[in-house]
Amino acid sequence: MELYELTVHELQKWLAGREISSEEIVKSIFTRINAVDDRVKSFITLTEELALQKAKKVDDIGKYEGIAGIPLGLKDIFCTRGVKTTCGSKILADFVPAYESTASRRLDEAQGILVGKLNMDEFAMGSSTENSAFFATHNPWDLARVAGGSSGGSAAAVAADEVPFSLGTDSGGSIRQPASFCGVVGMKPTYGRVSRWGVVAYASSLDQVGVVSKDVRDNALIMNIIAGHDPLDSTSAVEEVPDFTTVLDGNVKGLRIGYPKEYFRQGVDAAIIDAIKAALLKYEEMGAIVEEVSLPHSEYALPAYYLIAPAEASANMARFDGVRYGYRDFSAENVADMFCQSRDKGFGDEVKRRIMLGTYALSSGYYDAYYLKALKVRRLIADDFTRVFQDYDIIVAPTTPTTAFKIGEQFDDPLTLYMNDILTVPVNMAGLPGMSIPCGFDQGMPIGMQLIGKAFDEATLYKAAYAFEQNTGFHTVKPTLGVK
Amino acid sequence: MALTEKEVEHVALLARFNLSADEKRIFAEQLSSILTYVDTLNIIPTDDVEPLTYILPVHNVFRADEVKPGMPREEILANAPLAEEGQYKVPKIM
């Protein structure tokens, strides 16, 4: 057993027992990264020197509490003071933030050790990490396939044992979908649960920070650290944060699980439906009550999302004008041309496409027909969930309609690529917590099961996920980093 | 809903892009197909539905109006493409 293979809670035990040092862990992690990352391509930036310095400091102090001395990776969307933050874009290729995001600051203050910044679709727009301005991330289970996105680097790095855990963001499935594709645990908490301060904005009413980990316990203990109100983010919720690890008892007796019939329809692979149905039987065996439910407006979530998210994105992306930071085209002779040319050359195609779409949806004459209509549909989607949660504790569904597809396969057709998010987008529209955990394989590729909870009830999701994980063990199967 | 290249040009102006002829043609095609897809929303009657602009029951969030130190000017300007005498520098505006 190598140190880089261990989970956070295993490393905690070894550190507390003084059997290993943080420096040894960090060295093991970089040995692993150096051995595999030219194939997986999870990282945009590595911070080896800083990581080793901090590990030595933690070892000198010798207080191994919480995540002290444990390595981590951050999606390159989190501003890190003094460490380049590209957001997967050419326009921010040389951007070095002067401040730290709240989520990463909390991990830093808990003495977690940043080993690098992880690849992503440019500005979190995409479902395959092929939209990164730098390179695509490869799926550790089959290097010819995508890792998913937009937090593809965050999921692939954890699956490939390059980091014990990472942070990602999820606006329409960007944590859950790559977690599903890479066979790891991904949690998108309730909107407002984790501060968005210092996280580059994509769609502000949908974006949420979350955790990618090797197992459920790790995910819960990292959520304990990053969740909670932050005065710097006025949209972060003033809600108590329970200790999410205390509910991990494996007991789901009497838990009421609804599975929405709309998530088991055409377009979802038969092997995936079979795996989720088998998981539901497992829950019944463990004493849960499993019943079919209906979320009738599900199919309208994706078209509504592709109006709301681009509309918000078009406003958020307006700040990239070549004036204060980011790429500037110096050939422009006046300021108007400088705006346009900097944006033309700095943004990739998908970002431009969504800015264009959002600008159109918000433009004079179309606002009511598109944007306002989408917001009304959003209400209906949220109401569907509210209704089901009157009688059920959690909802269980597939995370994705297919397993990971081949690199290049869907790249030229934006609409086909958007369909990947059809089962995850409704959760963001309603602001609810959702997580993906491994629940089987189809031709060697991981299948993810999605658990959806009531607002601010991540605890029940962790409880249900832990019970399944401990009774099945899909999380213990590791990828071989080959091509299938 | 089909978008013409002329409309694409107008939207590009609003979004501050100079699109090439190729880009205009491709965007007209792709945006049209996306808009046709989102038109499926029109099936749903929503006349009596209140739009959901924000998911949390939060409206205005206020803090005390106190003077606090801002971020150091030099550090912020270090990311500027061009700066002079503590200020951003841009090409001529008028």
- Residue ranges per domain, chain B? 5-43
Phi and psi at B44, nearest 5°, equal -85, 125
Which chain B residue's Cα is nearest to A353? Answer: B27
Residue A379 to chain B, least CA–CA distance (Å) = 5
**Looking at residue A477, what is its pLDDT?**
95
Instruction: Give the pLDDT mean for A322-331.
Output: 96
A242: left (phi over 0), alpha (psi -120 to 50) or beta: beta
The structure tokens 């059997």 sit at A19
- For the stretch A214-250, pLDDT in tens is 999 999 999 999 999 999 999 999 999 999 999 999 9
Q: How confident is the model at residue A419 (pLDDT cuts 50, 70, 90)?
A: confident
Report yes or no: A339 and B67 within 8 Å, Cβ to Cβ: no
The structure tokens 């990971």 sit at A404
Residue from B22, B55, B65, B76 to probe the interface with A (highest A Cβ count within 10 Å): B55
Query: Residue B60 above 90 pLDDT?
Result: no
Classify residue A329 by its DSSP letter.
Answer: -
Give the CA radius of gyration of chain A: 21
Percent of chain A with pLDDT over 70: 100
Q: What is the mean pLDDT of chain B?
A: 93
- For the stretch A267-288, pLDDT in tens is 899 999 999 999 999 999 999 9
**Looking at residue A414, what is its pLDDT?**
80
pTM for the complete prediction? 0.97
Instruction: Give the pLDDT mean for B18-29.
Output: 95
Which chain A residue's Cα is nearest to B9? Answer: A356
Q: What sign does the CA torsion over A411, A413, A416, A422 have?
A: positive
The structure tokens 């819960």 sit at A220
Q: Does residue A300 sit at the B interface (CB-CB below 8 Å)?
A: yes
Instruction: Assess whether the previous peptide bond of A150 is cis (omega < 30° from 0).
Output: yes
Q: Say which of A174, A213, A236, A436 is annotated catalytic.
A: A174
Instruction: Give the pLDDT mean for B69-76.
Output: 92
The residues, any chain, with a CB within 8 Å of residue A180's CB and separated by 6 or more, are: A148, A186, A399, A400, A436, A438, A446, A447, A448, A450
- For the stretch A64-96, pLDDT in tens is 999 999 999 999 999 999 999 999 999 999 999
How many of the other CB atoms lie within 10 Å of CB of B49?
Answer: 16
CA distance A119 to A183: 18
**Looking at residue A410, what is its pLDDT?**
79
Residue A115 is inside which H or E element, if any? strand A113-118
CB-CB: which of A335, A352, A378 is closest to B52? Answer: A378
Instruction: Give the pLDDT mean for A323-338.
Output: 96
DSSP notation for A425-483: HHHHHHT--EEEEEEEEETTEEEEEEEEE-TT-HHHHHHHHHHHHHHH-GGG-------
**Looking at residue A234, what is its pLDDT?**
92
Query: Residue A39 above 80 pLDDT?
Result: yes
Report yes or no: B58 and A321 within 8 Å, Cβ to Cβ: no
Report yes or no: A42 and A158 within 8 Å, Cβ to Cβ: no
Chain A environment of B40 (Cβ under 8 Å)? 299-300, 303
CB-CB: which of B11, B37, B46 is closest to A356? Answer: B11
Q: What is the mean pLDDT of chain A?
A: 97
- For the stretch A421-449, pLDDT in tens is 999 999 999 999 999 999 999 999 999 99
DSSP notation for A262-307: GGGSTTS-HHHHHHHHHHHHHHHHTT-EEEEE--TTGGGHHHHHHH
Instruction: Give the pLDDT mean for A285-307.
Output: 97
Structure-block tokens of residue A249: 């008892």
Candidate CATH numbers 3.20.20.70, 3.90.1300.10, 3.40.50.1240, 3.40.50.12780; the one for domain A3-252+433-476: 3.90.1300.10
Residue A186 is inside which H or E element, if any? strand A185-188
ipTM of the complex: 0.95
CB-CB: which of B19, B23, B34 is closest to A357? Answer: B34
The CATH number of B5-43 is 1.10.20
**Looking at residue A469, what is its pLDDT?**
98
Query: Residue A151 above 90 pLDDT?
Result: yes
Q: Which of residues 229-288 of A touch B (CB under 8 A)?
A: 231, 234-235, 237
Residue from B33, B41, B71 to probe the interface with A (highest A Cβ count within 10 Å): B41
Query: Residue A56 above 90 pLDDT?
Result: yes
**Looking at residue B73, what is its pLDDT?**
93
Instruction: Give the pLDDT mean for B27-35.
Output: 94
- Is A84 annotated as catalytic? no
Which chain A residue's Cα is nearest to B32? Answer: A357
Query: Residue B1 above 80 pLDDT?
Result: no
Classify residue A182 by its DSSP letter.
Answer: H
Residue A36 to chain B, least CA–CA distance (Å) = 33
Residue B73 to chain A, least CA–CA distance (Å) = 10
